[in-house]
Amino acid sequence: MSWWVLDYWQSPGLGPIFVFGWAFWVILSITLHELGHGVAAIWQGDETPIKSGHMTMNPLIHMGGFSLLAFAIVGIAWGAMPVNPYHFRNRRFGDALVSLAGPAVNLFLAIITATALGFAIHYGNGSNFSRNLNLFLSVAPMLNLVLLVLNLVPVPPLDGSRILAGISHSAARFYEKPEVQQFGVIALLLIVFSSGDRVFSVATDVSLGWADIVSSILP
């Protein structure tokens, strides 16, 4: 099995700019995703994110050494934000709201970066810098759309399961079962390996489509 960095580095049309862009946007997007959870938790009355020292832009705090190592080896990573739902003003609704905040950040990032890509495409001059900038920016909306979709899947430990549990008593009881928690990890792996390529492809089409629309309406 080859190393993802070398694969992308040597791939025509991608190269070192894509590798740098992937590393930059993965780390930034996950960090901001977790901070979204933290801000929402604080708004709900829980100071755990502050007391635990997680309200920081330091990716090592949010992702941890093992996640960053996994990213270096296979190109994927994850993060975590400690919260205490028992401190929320509304226990169940608050949990759903805090869980939704992370994917909402990814949606916001996808829109902002796809719009920025549209500007870059429209005002680009065809130079190497312009092409490299477009490639660098194109990673961000695609990645954040993937993170958005993936995190909304209602499988534990993803945000989607906590959102659904927060709005449905029956779902909450279902997700509390230990066997469901264990099955969730297996289901997540199956989803990633069976549908990952398709999700990335659709996310790329959507983000580039948005950028093209923005580019077409600019003066």
Domain boundaries, the chain: 4-217
- Name the pTM for this structure: 0.92
Q: What ranges in 75-177 are assigned the alpha helix state H?
A: 91-123, 128-152, 159-167, 169-175
Identify the band that residue 194 occupies on the pLDDT scale cut at 50, 70 and 90. confident
Q: Supply the pLDDT for residue 76.
A: 86
The residues annotated with a catalytic role in the active site are 34
Residue 55 CA to its chain's centroid (Å): 18
R_g of the chain, CA atoms, integer Å: 19
Computed over every residue of the chain, the mean pLDDT equals 91
- pLDDT, tens digit, 9 for 90 and up, residues 113-144: 999 999 999 999 989 999 999 999 999 999 99
Contact, 83 vs 41, CB < 8 A? yes
* Number of Cβ within a 10 Å radius of residue 42: 17
Q: Which residue has the tokens 């580039």?
A: 208
- Please report the pLDDT score of residue 204 as a whole number: 95
